[in-house]
Amino acid sequence: MTSEPVFEDPNSLSSLLQRAAGIRAAGGRIPDLDLATIIERHRGTELPAAIIEYLAQHFRGEIKSARGPKMQSDAEKDFRFGPADNLYRRALPIFEYLAKRQKRQVSKRRNATSAATLTPSEHAFDYVIKKLKDECDLGTLSTRRSLANAISERRRKIEEREFPTDQPNSHPTDGPESAA
């Protein structure tokens, strides 16, 4: 990374261009916010050649975005996994009942063979993914374990929001203590 002069504002045009040149020299992507600021500050004048070249490469698809999962806000995750959590809570007791019923029927048979089957929770997760695949964009999940982790993370955040741990013995109607 290039060093900037101490007296110069980090959001000044020359500082942004210097940072962009350093990032490009290292083979990285210029952040979209910095690129937008550079374009806005050059309104009515010609953009520097390095920025024009970078934009041309970007629009041709030669500059790839960073790999990895895209960041999501808590509201997006809640919107995405909320229906899945609700459907899972409704489906799990049904699959538990069916598993208990099948186990009872299998034990009465004489020649019952034990086959490796899914647990009721795995059945419920498969059902949720199948039902809400397109509606809640669950098709991008690689395994049922990732859905289980997302649902448990959602439940944990809801619990932290509703039951904060800052003062475990306090009551919502308690007022500030007076120094009497």
- Residue at 174 is within a domain: no
pLDDT bucket at 166, cuts 50 / 70 / 90? low
Record the tokens describing residue 149, joined without a space.
């982790």
Record the tokens describing residue 154, joined without a space.
């959602």
Same domain, 23 and 103: no
Same domain, 90 and 131: yes
CB atoms < 10 A from the CB of 120, how many?
18
- Give the whole-angstrom CA distance, residue 13 versus residue 37: 8
Indicate the number of domains in the chain. Answer: 2
Same domain, 37 and 92: no
Q: Which amino acid is residue 135, in one-letter code?
A: E
Arithmetic mean of pLDDT over the chain:
79
Query: Is residue 51 predicted with pLDDT exceeding 70?
Result: yes
Query: For the segment 120-157, what is each residue's pLDDT rounded down to a tens digit?
Result: 999 998 898 888 888 877 777 778 888 898 899 988 88
Which of 34-38, 72-76, 87-91, 117-121 has the least mean pLDDT?
A: 72-76
Same domain, 95 and 32: no
pLDDT bucket at 104, cuts 50 / 70 / 90? low
Same domain, 158 and 79: yes
CB atoms < 10 A from the CB of 166, how many?
5
- Between 142 and 101, name the one with better pLDDT: 101
Domain that holds residue 127: 74-162
- Give the whole-angstrom CA distance, residue 136 versus residue 9: 44
- Give the whole-angstrom CA distance, residue 149 versus residue 50: 44
Same domain, 86 and 152: yes
Same domain, 53 and 104: no
Burial of 12 (0-12, 13-18, 19+ CB in 10 A): middle
Residue for token pair 């800052």:
166
Buried-exposed string 59-79: b where 16+ CB fall within 10 A, e elsewhere = eeeebeeeeeeeeeeeeeeee
Same domain, 81 and 55: no
